[in-house]
Amino acid sequence: GQSLEQPSEVTAVEGAIVQINCTYQTSGFYGLSWYQQHDGGAPTFLSYNALDGLEETGRFSSFLSRSDSYGYLLLQELQMKDSASYFCAVVNTGGFKTIFGAGTRLFVKA
């Protein structure tokens, strides 16, 4: 089968750095995306990795290693507003299905 595994919860303090991991089992995919979703809101796109390596977008960075079937989202200078759920996602090459991980709930404490 195809699946993406994420930790269910992560807690960090304001101003800190947090890493949310995503390990996957899929036969083939185009790239790894990350989305943020606040309670009651819609998912919003954060970052995308087509190739191995690090992509940086402001306070957020994302990393992919296809050889390790692993990726992560790095959030720096955490703010209270970063408290939300974070999802990794792929589009598989066989059938164009979009697969989301179950999400990681991030709690940022003062």
Partner 1 sequence: DSGVTQTPKHLITATGQRVTLRCSPRSGDLSVYWYQQSLDQGLQFLIQYYNGEERAKGNILERFSAQQFPDLHSELNLSSLELGDSALYFCASTPSGTPDNEQFFGPGTRLTVL
* Residues forming the site for partner 1 (CB under 8 A): 30-31, 33, 41-45, 48, 50, 87, 89, 91, 95-103
**Which helix (H) or strand (E) is 109 found in, with range?**
strand 104-109
Q: CA 67 → CA 25, 28, 51, 102, distances in Å?
A: 12, 12, 11, 22
Identity of the residue, 15 or 41, whose beta carbon is nearer to partner 1 in the bound complex: 41
Q: Which is nearer to partner 1, 74 or 91 (CB)?
A: 91
Assigned token pair, 25: 């089992």
Nearer Cβ to partner 1 (62/78): 62
Q: Could you tell me the smallest distance in angstroms from the CB atom of residue 85 to partner 1?
A: 9
